[in-house]
């Protein structure tokens, strides 16, 4: 008797970093069981006709701040993972900022316990690597973090508790942190901005009466990021650490990354869609609703970043989804420095990158690498990010021909006002359905998944001997 699969998807074009192919996706027990010839019609509990659609591996968002548990009015894990699923994201990697700051093994366990019951998609956790918790690095690795995060500037005074164990401004301690994370074999992610430099520049602007939107970009020019990246490289090289630059925004930072790699330094980089699609001109009109750190750059920098993306300097694209409320962002109307930095993006990242493919700015296979395959490899998730036998059956049905216009009022994040920057953007490509381990989370544009379906994922590839 022939095998009966749980689910079979036929008629669609399967996409990987190697290109497109016609084939039938067969799923059993939540995993990809087989890729069959295009004319195969095996027996299955459910058949899906994906004719006219592309079948993508589930998107892995490498940079998310739901901050759950935190300010529930901004976002919670259910609203955040609902938005993620609507954007084709089946795994998100959550940063350690929260009222449960991830800075110890106990915090990893408590954060996981707080998030899992409400999660519609899978999630991993970054651990914190800060000046207070050098001795807690190894225990966090044992508890299952996918990597570590360090902010190189002090947090806002009102949010010190959320950032406990997540920041470091002392170079000697930073050197110790890199040695500690190197011993775990896990990536060490950095928010690269030179705090002394941007603090001084902002003070000058305020003294001159500059509180307009562009003052934010002028207070943190590209050299603020570049100086920080350049200072980290020799420390990472000495420690043989896996240095990872998040939300890279400057072409010259990308060149520093390439130069370091050529010298044998293990350094990778992430960028985010706003740095590829918008310039700092948005700060003039949207003010706080266009404010993020690092800030949006000049048009020439945007074009330069695309060139470095094509050259392979950028490994992954993450959203840096950072929910804030309308009233919080509007503090920047009178004084841009009072608005909190951060934009939302879970629902729009994949459509934006699909639009780039449509416009010829990005090969389809590179999109899959940037948003699925490379992310899985970088963070040690071998069962994610690929449509191959043995992998989790996380996949997205995409209509690449569908043209639509973004409207923030229809967003699913609680902080939908913080998506105004995308209003009026014409997008080519939409998520039709999202499946997690063979079960629908979004189907025909409607959210059908249930909270609690998402699982905590931990890396399967790191130097375990070094953390025991």
Nearest-10 crossing angle of helices 299-310, 251-262: 30
Q: What ranges make up the beta strands (E) of 95-182?
A: 122-128, 147-151
Q: Is 357 helix (H, G, I), strand (E, B) or coil?
A: helix
CATH architecture of 56-389+458-467: Alpha-Beta Barrel (3.20)
What does the pLDDT read at residue 160? Answer: 83
What does the pLDDT read at residue 159? Answer: 85
| Residue 133 preceded by cis peptide, ω within 30 | no
Spatial distance between the Cα atoms of 325 and 105, rounded to a whole number of angstroms: 31
List phi, psi (to 5°) of 166.
-120, 0
What does the pLDDT read at residue 164? Answer: 87
Tokens linked to 226: 């570049």
Instruction: Judge contact between 413 and 86, C-beta under 8 A.
Output: no
Q: How far is CA 393 from the centre of its chain?
A: 20
What does the pLDDT read at residue 461? Answer: 62
Place of tokens 């901005």: 193
What does the pLDDT read at residue 359? Answer: 97
How confident is the model over 423-446, as pLDDT tens digits? 999 999 999 999 999 999 999 999
Closest CA to 91 of 363, 457, 367, 414: 457
Q: Tell me what percent of the chain is helix, strand and coil, each rounded to the nearest 5.
A: 40, 25, 40
Model pTM score: 0.96
Report the chain (468 residues): mean pLDDT per 10 consecutive residues: 86 96 97 96 96 98 97 98 98 97 97 98 98 95 98 87 90 97 98 97 98 98 98 98 98 98 98 98 98 98 98 97 98 97 98 98 97 98 97 98 98 98 98 98 96 97 40
| Residue 69 preceded by cis peptide, ω within 30 | yes
What does the pLDDT read at residue 156? Answer: 84
What does the pLDDT read at residue 1? Answer: 37
Instruction: Judge contact between 69 and 114, C-beta under 8 A.
Output: yes
For the chain, domain boundaries: 56-389+458-467
| Helix residue ranges, H only, 44-160 | 77-86, 105-115, 137-143
Which DSSP category does 255 fall into? H
């Amino acid at each position: 008797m022939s095998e009966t699969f749980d689910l079979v998807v036929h008629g669609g074009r399967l996409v990987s970093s190697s290109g497109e192919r016609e084939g039938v996706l067969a799923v059993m027990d939540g995993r990809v069981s087989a890729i069959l010839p295009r004319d195969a019609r095996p027996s299955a509990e459910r058949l899906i006709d994906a004719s006219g659609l592309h079948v993508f591996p589930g998107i892995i968002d490498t940079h998310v701040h739901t901050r759950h548990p935190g300010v529930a009015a901004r976002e919670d894990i259910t609203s955040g993972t609902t938005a993620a699923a609507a954007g084709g994201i089946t795994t998100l990697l959550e940063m350690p900022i929260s009222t449960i700051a991830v800075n110890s093994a106990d915090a990893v366990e408590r954060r996981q316990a707080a998030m899992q019951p409400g999660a519609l998609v899978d999630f991993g956790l970054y651990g914190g690597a800060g000046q207070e918790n050098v001795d807690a690095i190894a225990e966090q690795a044992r508890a299952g973090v996918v990597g570590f995060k360090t902010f190189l500037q002090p947090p806002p005074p009102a949010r010190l508790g959320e950032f406990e164990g997540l920041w470091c401004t002392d170079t000697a301690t930073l050197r110790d942190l890199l040695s500690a994370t190197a011993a775990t074999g896990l990536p060490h992610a950095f928010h690269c901005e030179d705090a002394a430099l941007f603090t001084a520049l902002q003070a000058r602007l305020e003294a001159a009466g500059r509180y307009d939107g562009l003052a934010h970009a002028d207070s943190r020019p590209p050299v603020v990021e570049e100086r920080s990246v350049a200072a980290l490289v020799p420390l990472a090289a000495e420690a043989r650490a896996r240095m990872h630059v998040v939300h890279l925004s400057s072409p010259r930072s990308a060149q520093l990354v390439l130069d370091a790699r050529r010298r044998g330094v293990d350094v990778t980089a992430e960028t985010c869609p706003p740095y590829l699609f918008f310039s700092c001109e948005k700060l003039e009109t949207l003010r706080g609703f266009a404010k993020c750190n690092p800030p949006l750059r000049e048009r020439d920098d945007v074009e330069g970043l695309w060139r470095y993306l094509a050259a392979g300097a950028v490994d992954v694209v993450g959203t840096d989804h950072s929910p804030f409320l309308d009233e919080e962002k509007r503090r920047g109307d009178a004084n841009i420095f009072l608005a909190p930095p951060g934009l939302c993006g879970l629902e729009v990242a994949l459509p934006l990158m699909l639009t780039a493919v449509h416009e010829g700015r990005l090969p389809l296979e590179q999109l899959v690498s940037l948003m699925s395959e490379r992310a899985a490899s970088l963070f040690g998730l071998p069962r994610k990010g690929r449509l191959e036998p043995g992998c989790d059956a996380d996949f997205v049905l995409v209509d690449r021909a569908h043209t639509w216009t973004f409207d923030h009022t229809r967003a699913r994040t609680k902080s939908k006002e913080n998506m105004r920057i995308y209003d009026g953007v014409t997008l080519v490509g939409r998520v039709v359905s999202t499946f997690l381990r063979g079960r629908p989370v979004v189907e025909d544009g409607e959210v059908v998944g249930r909270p609690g379906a998402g699982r905590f994922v931990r890396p399967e590839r790191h130097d375990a001997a070094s953390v025991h």
